[in-house]
Each structure stands twice: as structure tokens, then as C-alpha cells.
A and B are shown apart, each in its own frame.
Chain A
């Protein structure tokens, strides 16, 4: 236990924000909210231009089994509903723009409820109605994870407080500042799943978070487990392996080994949704990187333009070369700072260097194989994909790649391995694995 194979130790760079309390970002004048902020079908718009909405009003309703509603994050007027490129995928997505009335009036449905006898079904529907998705970055609808198939009994809930990506400190700050809410949210999730065994897993580079969570968990039977700092400790499969020694089968889900993983930020959102009926319209975002003047942890309304957050953090420092949504290992570069914060946005990073090192030929040093936490052989997969041998790549488990970036990080020849694997996977999907 306590170990998974492979992984890397990149410099953490968390010092810029790890001791900075979460600040409330100023209310945006205007938000644009894509109706696709989660894995699965986008929600369907239920407002029209000119409608008045309050903070937390539903603007899109779920559209399919794996889909959740979307809510307004400010009060004001709907000024635009149109197809805009999604910040992450670039695909055109229905996006609702709302102009603020500066009142921030809450939707009337947001009020405290009696949770003493709440049933698992009530918890799950509250979570779905609040539009909660995994806040760790993957943005998978949370309610769906909490309804595992009956033939896969879940015995353990792991709350993921690892935050193994360098630079990011949003989860860290939540654990230090709002441990009681995380514990309550966790209690709701555990009740919804009907599990007794709850592990709160935190990397040992956050001793203050471990202490705060231990203190808050002292009245519960939850275990706070400190894990060795190593990237990607927070990846679901690696986390389960480290906490329980169980290995999620290739192509399988955590439920296959009786386990569900939820992020600490998600636990806070669950607490808000279940106790106060408050939808997910804001989240904590770390705005940092060498290209930001005053890095901060911010509580941000979903749909706030990235540009405004950077301005609130003192603006750019030097010439920005790369703007990243998420962490430096798995985050996605933005082509413009005029895009909105999403439910899955854990960080905004600004780099002054673009890292465009030229690819060299592979010298077969084997470092990528050593680093791969999934036991893959990146150098071989890369050769297969470049040679068009997609079937061979699939055979050697290309689809098990979690895109953590360990291989590309260590590669001395600077080969764009993750890029090529994403391409290979997309090709496989396009040709249905032929």
C-alpha cells in the first residue's frame, strides 16, 4: 500500500499561493456560461434573451442520462445566447451571456434545508439539481458517479485532496480554510453511497491541510491518509492503488474495485447543495505562474472571463506566452484570455516561456517507461502511432494512457508524446479502432 509504480517529482512551485487565503473575486460585469461544462450531453437552454435571472437560477436543464443543469452565476439579464467555441475543446457550444444587475440577488430556491433525516436519493437529486461535476478537472457529473451499477458494490469512498499538479493550491486552501464543510459534504456523499469506509487522501507536502482535516474529521470515523508526494498521486487509478492497493482493471472504472473517488472541492459543493440547496455557480481557482504579478487563490463565479481574474491579480508580468487552464502537467492552453472560467477550472497559469523545444530522435533511454504510472511503453506507442500502426498501439494499451504527461516531462529528446497519444486516441475513436 501507499505506492504506485512510475510517476515523477516535478518542482512544485506552490509557494506563490499556498499560504494565501482564498479571496472573493469581484463580481463580474458580465458572464458567459457554456452549457457544456461536463462530460456527457450539454444542457438545454431554458432562458431566452431579455430574461431576468438571479444568482443560481437554472439557465440550462439536463439533456440526457449523463447531463446536469447549468445555472446563472450572477443576477441580471440574459443578453446573448449563441454558439461560441468552447474554451477547452474549441467546438461550438451554446453559450449564455448574462449582464449583471450588480445586485447578486439569490434565487429563491437557495435556502437551508433540514438534513437530519435526508435519504440517499434526496442527496443524489440535490447534487444533480445543483449541477455538480467533479471539480478536480475532469468535470464528470457527480450524481452519476454516486449511482454505481447494483452489481458493483462500493465499499470505500476516497476524498481526493492530493492536488498533485504543480502550482495549484485551490484544494489545499479549501482543506485549510473550510475543513468542516468538506467533512459535511463527505458525510453526504458517504450516505448517498451507503459506505462506511471513508479515506481522505492528502499528499504529505501539505502538512497544514492534513492537520486541519484530521482535526475536522476527529468526530467521524473517516481516515485522513497522508500520501507520499509524487505526481500523479491524484490520478484516480493511482490514488486507489496507493490508498487501498486495489488496481482498477484496464478499461474499467473505480466501481469495479468497490471504490468511488471525489475531489475535496466537489465535497464542498455537495455540502452547499445538500444543506443550502445552492447550485454550483462558483469555485476556487488558483491564478498563478511566473507571468502573473500577484498570484492568488480566488473564489470565482463560473463564467467570469479569465482576463478579469488576471487583472485582479495585478495583471500580466512580462509578456505572456502561454495561458493554461488547469495545471502545468495536464492543463489546456488557451488561445485568448477572453474565455470564461468553467466548473472544471482548477487553475489559470501564465507562463512567460512557451517551451517549444525541438523534437529530437528517440535515443531509447527508457525514461518514459520508467515514469509511466500506467505501465505503458510510451516510446513504442509513439513509434506505432507515427508509423500509422494504430491497431498495434491499441494492442499495447494506448487507450489506458491517462495523459498525465510524465513521459513527455522526462523525455530528454523532448518528443511530444502526450500530443501524439491524444492524436492516436482520436484517430482510433474516429476509425472505431479499425
Chain B
């Protein structure tokens, strides 16, 4: 056992650093550092830079155009990117639909879709959830009826993240209403420009727009866009969700989040002294830092087991639960740290280029909106209650 990186690992770290330094647009980096909202183009400029270097799909095997990195290299890459304030990679193409396509797709589908994902030329979004089907995904009802060499899709999807920016959506649709819930589902790729698709924003508690409802009204989708076999979409769905779990712990982001709380606590005053000198507040930060470390080493253990060829163990399942709780705790502490100046509501300031003067200190105005918004992390991607049900059933045998 060894905690230290090898010489090669260190050289790789320097290479990643140099790349980020040279390729991450300064304005994007600044937005991330300040916790501002990003535009589609901000993500695209960064992801396309990664794509040109062949690093965007860094979890893919070589034969599908990935870099073929070791798990240590992936770990280093993620940490360096987070440390240097690179935006998170939008997972829908690179981590979700891409692997589904290279695992279950036809050669033609691979040739058609994978290059656009590798190079970040195409923005994908995920169409799983429906108004009546959240945790119980298999109850979904959006229908796809075969008509010659097309499917005709009717229904609606919801909680569609960044669908208003997307070129394509991957959907779970019901192709057989009469079979068992999980059996009549198919996995379809749909061009968002197809007639009959309407995207309607859902406004979040913090006033932001990141999710949508998507309506399908007699949308004609070529049968060639079916991935895997008709009626076997649930296999793709489960494969995709398992892929989604790794990396969802957001450890590098949380480490940066703890640093940000420390920075706020250094800048805020309490009785004429920096808040960070207040014993009880220091202890809260220390407690959080220990939680992040426990999570990090749990993730490292999983990565190490994978590097040795093993399947990731049960620890992987609770990375999501603890990861989301820690992200939420960070926002709670930031909110506590800023005191009264959490109160002014200045949504425009969350966007770059807003020429409004912040009312309190620069670090204060994002505290409350983030706290409200980050409640989502224990809901999306399978709620924490559902994750716990999975662990108790699959891991503990209850």
C-alpha cells in the first residue's frame, strides 16, 4: 500500500495542470471561482478544448476513442480540474449516453454519435423522469408506437436538466404497454429539433432555470435511433445509472467548497475578530473536513479495487448519499458564516456581466441561493431514500 503518487503520476499531474492553465478560458475560470451560473457556450468552450486533446471522455476505453487512463490518472485529472476552477463536465453525453451507445449500439450508431460526444459538438440531455414517474422510473408512460420505419412518440418528460440547451435527448419510452413494467421499455435517441417537441422551463427555488418539462406530441423518430433491442431499454437504463454513480460523490468540488467556507470565515468578523477564530465555528469546519476525508478515502478504496481489476464494492453505493449530504452541509456552513448578508436577493449577480453592485460582501450573495438549490443533490439521480433502499436490499440482503 502506498499513498504517494509514482513519478509518472506526478508528471501526468503537471501535464494536466499545464493543459488547464493554457486551455481553460479565463472568464469561465473566474465564473466558476465566484460560483456564478455558466452559459451553454462556457461549458462548450471548455469541453471542446478537452475534446481536441482527447480528454473529454476520459472514462472511456481506448477502442472507443477514450484516453485509456488508469483510475489514478482519472482521480488526478478530476482533482486538478476542480482545483483550477474548471467547470464540471456535463455528464449526459460523456458519462451517460456515450457508454450506452458504445456498449449496446450498432456500428452505425457508434459512427454517427460518438464523435459528436467526444468532441462536445452535440449537447445531450436525459429524458428519464416523468411527472408520475420519479423514484419509480419503471412506471413511465411516454408511448412510442411503431409506424413503418418510425416510432411515433407521445407523452412528457420532466426535470430535464439543461434540456433548453440540448441538441439531442436520450429517452426511455414505453413500446409495449401490455408487458411487465420493466419489459416494455425502449431506449430512444431523439433530435430535439424534431417537430412536435416543446420545452417548457421549470423555475427553481433560487429563481434559476436549469430544468424543464419536455412534451412530445406525435414526434416521429426513425427506428434506426433505437439503441439495443426494442423492449430491452431497461438494461441500458440500469447500465447508465450504474455509470452515473461513480464520480457523483463530487469529492474534489467538496474539498474546494470547504476551502471556500474557510475563506469566508476568515473574511467575516465576529466581535472584532475573524469568525474563523471562533472555536465552535472552527470545529464545524473541521468536522466537515473530516467527513470529506472519509468520503475521499472511501472513493479511493473503490478506485483502488477497480484498478486491481475488482468490481467496485458496496462502498460505491453510498458515495452518492454521503457526497450529497456533504455538499449540502457546505452550503449550510457558508450560510451560517455570512450572517445577515445572506438576506438580500440579487439573482442577476449569479450571472456574469451583471453590472449590479453586490449589497453585502462579494462572497455573501451566493450563500442563500446555493443553500436552497443544493437541496436537489439528495433528490436527483435517485433520491437518498432510494439509494438506501438499494443498499439495504442489494448489499445487506434485507
Q: Do A and B bind each other?
A: no
